[in-house]
Structure 1
């Protein structure tokens, strides 16, 4: 049968101002790990993430071109004896692939950390597993060898120029003898904590950032209960100052729930607490919630320990009888030690105007404590957040506001050393004022270059696709990163002086061969260094494969996995996120360059192209963001 990609679904071919309309010259970028993204290992996996995982995300990069990433979605690679059925895929993920956390089954981690370096001796920018808290390489997991199955979830969030990495992790799996009624179950399964910040220096020494609250005491007659506590390390500056946030006190409802575990008899105490700790929704929330405060840790010179620590002040003073959960987070820091993030605050001191707003904190040289600074928001902008700050004091963040009747996020910047109000850059609508396209920044370098993501269509009633952006504060130049790529980096090749999309040919375990057009789109940018090297996430088209009822890939006699097919028996393709590295090639966008690189961005296939199966476009509408797990409920 003949099918044609819907032009309207293209992430790049959208009604926005094109490169030619930019007022200033922009640098041309290349995807430096393009070959790795399209490489095949055993005919199955795309690189750009760790082997044995489904998705990869580029998170941060330092001046030495050392980047951090997070891989998600564990797959067990084993030969299946039952390959009769095709697993139904919802949003591209089979139920058998999903990791389900339960006290009744061994805990299987779903988040793994990796690094990728420009000067890697084996291959530049190749994702390399980086163990934290004893985690095991997902590519070496053997379901028949329990010691290789990882129970620790880990996230990388930041790295400084000396190679100090920060993030958050869980503890390892623990067990209690099973006392329930289920036949053949031997143990309960639980963890000591579900979220704890950590530091890992360049030599590999790990330091856990233990919060002040790790236990709960009901009364003088009851022993202390381990609740694990809550801390996250979000970023580290050149001087070893780590910023993040911690849980300082349990909420009233959390205490009540733990009290029921203390008096209950259904589970052992630690197991009962774990039933409250596992995330219960898509945001990673649990039933144990904390008062959360921004926090800083000063590392020792060698990065092997904590020299001092400070809690950042909240933007308001809660009343003594308040049961509401107030939250503050440190998310970014510059060399001078100015911390940015967000905090609950009463706007202009009005207790009827409680908001969760962008803020920054500066250290008071006299007291040694930190002073809180609110970033003034008009009432129509009802919530805001600051993500990063450069050494010039320029802070970047976003606020929420209703635009044309719909809630949108808008990127802004603010000079913490000046007196001017925050600035909302014109994105793709410089001639028409601020657009209704949602946008969020994630990083800013000292040159004033900002990266993040932005929506690319103006649909009102439909989810909007997103793309990575690059904004230059000095020139007000705002670009869709996909429009700054060479044709090769967009998946094209030149044939007879004409740009056409490359074809990808993959064989499977049944002897079938799938040929499809290369397709990759940058959907977010998370980090940029002083040389303009960018890391983020690209969505890449690839084959879909069959899984058995245990979540294992179905492998053919030739050792290759078997394609999933549609009702016509044609192989299917889907889109998956991969870590991407972008680097300038030394040239700038000019009329001459545009004329020579006139490749089409909308991935339109010729009318006579017979697609083998169909591609899933769910990725267009669900940006694969991987940021902090949230616990903001007031219960």
Structure 2
């Protein structure tokens, strides 16, 4: 994120220099979008305080009754409580749960497709959905709800960027045996977009065979957009497309289904390059610049190489990842942090012999870049976050929770304050997931702090990720809290005794600085100890990687 600098001292710095303890540094508010699905994570925050959140497993998905074929699907009828009511469109909460599990567990192109992730912009008082590339449904009122829409960043004016899938549509087909079948297909798998003036502007890639691929990860206030695009298709793709268009070659299937199979098989085989777009205020693409690889591949190489811009500042300098040959690894090719500037791709950490890979996550208008590098600590690979100053070409690795902790930065504001998360457990083994807590780091003062130490002692939350910070010091975070368990119908589940089932739930929250706030003394607070030390489902935290990475996903 890139914004105008508002003040020099962060809330963290003020807290650490105060001598009295009267109120916590931050108060927590839950986002309204948490009521839209089973779990949610925050992703970014704008200068006006609006938080981007991604909601996984949205409540009450619409069901296309025609595609269920209940007259002939005896196995499904036996699973339902009231199949006749379902056939009439009267679906109970119990049967909705059954239908959702059946549909989400099927890979058949004859089965209705339901999206798993929706994105919202809002706060505790309300949220606006960004529906991406979804379209009105012909089977029921509303949208198809067959897309995944992941918004990753928002600027000071409320403009956002993200990546989405195409909606599925029906293709009717009569096979060689005379069966009438309805297939579900879509036109592309991944496309970046800009959400501007309540409209979605698609970001098309230069190589768009079968839709190609593009992604948008970061946006500056002056509408520079960072992401990646497909620049070259696999050599065999043209022949496969030609076979689909030939009735003799494609077999007994519609051409749309054949092309979809080819698209899915080749989705990861496109050459992807970091890209920066410049967008006009009225929603026009003024320019698109793609960046070369940081090294020269062998002339006869057929390997797919990738780079991606994760963020961009108002000067049009992008940061992200790019593959490169690493000298201290015998020139093996690894993914390294990268800066995209003046048409060049410049890798970081190549001269740091301890580091084997990494990523640049964010850049501010002061030219400070934050990211992480991976190195071995006590025989285990650990990610350690860094700060790189483009102007002075200096690189520092701040101290985090402890030497063996893996730490990941998520965002940096124009006050040079970084937020992210890191491991707080010192013990690992047997494949266990080490607990993570959100952190805040003030680069100017060198202050590093666990965000759980800056909220009230009796707060029922554990901050496990800090995903975004604006120049007002407001933080978009992800927390774990004990809540009643809800099913896909949004109903609270109960045990055999009729009691609500309570579980650890991942939710999106906003941390609001408290004027005059200070770190509370929780030495006598048993609740504080229990909240930070145990009682949480850390397996659930492993799911955060599915939707919670700010700008990182490919």
- Structure 2-normalised TM-score? 0.81
The aligned counterpart of 1:386 is 360
User: Of 387, 396, 407, which residue of structure 2 is paired with 1:423?
Assistant: 396
Aligned-pair CA distance for 1:131:
3.1
1:170 matches 2:165? yes
Aligned-pair CA distance for 1:544:
2.6
Aligned-pair CA distance for 1:212:
1.2
The aligned counterpart of 2:229 is 246
The aligned counterpart of 1:619 is 540
1:578 matches 2:475? no
The aligned counterpart of 1:196 is 191
Classify 1:28/1:214 alpha carbon distance in 2 versus 1 (closer, same or farther; 3 Å). Answer: same
Contact in 2 for aligned 1:465/1:623 (Cα 8 Å): no
Distance 1:322 1:271 in 2: 31
Equivalences for 1:584-603 in 2 at 5 Å? 584-589=513-518, 593-594=520-521, 598=525, 600-603=527-530
The aligned counterpart of 2:43 is 59
SS state of the match for residue 323, structure 1? coil
Aligned-pair CA distance for 1:572:
2.7
Distance 2:383 2:231 in 1: 29
SS state of the match for residue 594, structure 1? coil
Distance 1:277 1:402 in 2: 38
Contact in 1 for aligned 2:409/2:420 (Cα 8 Å): yes
User: Which structure carries more helix by proportion?
Assistant: 2
Contact in 2 for aligned 1:539/1:619 (Cα 8 Å): no
SS state of the match for residue 186, structure 1? strand
Distance 1:29 1:102 in 2: 51
The aligned counterpart of 2:122 is 116
User: Of 297, 308, 330, which residue of structure 1 is paired with 2:277?
Assistant: 297
Equivalences for 1:421-460 in 2 at 5 Å? 422-429=395-402, 435-460=403-428
The aligned counterpart of 1:310 is 289
Aligned-pair CA distance for 1:194:
1.2
Distance 2:50 2:195 in 1: 14
1:470 matches 2:391? no
Aligned-pair CA distance for 1:250:
2.0
Aligned-pair CA distance for 1:419:
3.3
Classify 1:424/1:259 alpha carbon distance in 2 versus 1 (closer, same or farther; 3 Å). Answer: farther
Aligned-pair CA distance for 1:311:
0.7
Distance 1:485 1:381 in 2: 34
What number of residue pairs does the alignment pair up? Answer: 503
Distance 2:216 2:285 in 1: 13
Equivalences for 1:475-486 in 2 at 5 Å? 475-486=445-456
1:30 matches 2:30? no
Contact in 1 for aligned 2:462/2:531 (Cα 8 Å): no
SS state of the match for residue 336, structure 1? coil
Classify 1:440/1:276 alpha carbon distance in 2 versus 1 (closer, same or farther; 3 Å). Answer: farther
Distance 1:424 1:629 in 2: 20
Distance 1:275 1:48 in 2: 35
Classify 1:401/1:98 alpha carbon distance in 2 versus 1 (closer, same or farther; 3 Å). Answer: farther
The aligned counterpart of 1:105 is 111
Contact in 2 for aligned 1:50/1:71 (Cα 8 Å): no
User: Of 250, 253, 256, which residue of structure 2 is paired with 1:270?
Assistant: 256
- Structure 1, unaligned runs of 5 or more: 1-18, 37-46, 118-123, 216-226, 281-285, 364-369, 430-434, 492-519, 554-560, 606-613
- Structure 2, unaligned runs of 5 or more: 1-11, 64-79, 83-91
SS state of the match for residue 603, structure 1? helix
The aligned counterpart of 2:6 is none
Deviations 1:337-386 (A, max 9, x none): 111011011235997332211010222xxxxxx12222133233111100
Distance 1:594 1:529 in 2: 27
**RMSD over aligned Cα atoms:** 3.6
SS state of the match for residue 587, structure 1? coil
Classify 1:190/1:182 alpha carbon distance in 2 versus 1 (closer, same or farther; 3 Å). Answer: farther
1:409 matches 2:383? yes
Deviations 1:216-240 (A, max 9, x none): xxxxxxxxxxx11100111111221
SS state of the match for residue 521, structure 2? helix
Distance 1:373 1:161 in 2: 28
SS state of the match for residue 487, structure 1? coil
Aligned-pair CA distance for 1:196:
0.7
Aligned-pair CA distance for 1:617:
5.1
User: Of 321, 329, 335, which residue of structure 1 is paired with 2:308?
Assistant: 329
Deviations 1:507-555 (A, max 9, x none): xxxxxxxxxxxxx21111111001110002112222235x6xxx656xx
Contact in 2 for aligned 1:62/1:159 (Cα 8 Å): yes
Contact in 1 for aligned 2:26/2:517 (Cα 8 Å): no
SS state of the match for residue 65, structure 1? coil
Classify 1:108/1:418 alpha carbon distance in 2 versus 1 (closer, same or farther; 3 Å). Answer: same
Q: Which moved more, 1:477-486 or 1:622-631?
A: 622-631
Distance 1:147 1:194 in 2: 22
Classify 1:375/1:596 alpha carbon distance in 2 versus 1 (closer, same or farther; 3 Å). Answer: closer
Classify 1:147/1:570 alpha carbon distance in 2 versus 1 (closer, same or farther; 3 Å). Answer: closer
Contact in 2 for aligned 1:250/1:290 (Cα 8 Å): yes
Contact in 1 for aligned 2:325/2:334 (Cα 8 Å): yes
The aligned counterpart of 2:337 is 358
Contact in 2 for aligned 1:24/1:477 (Cα 8 Å): no
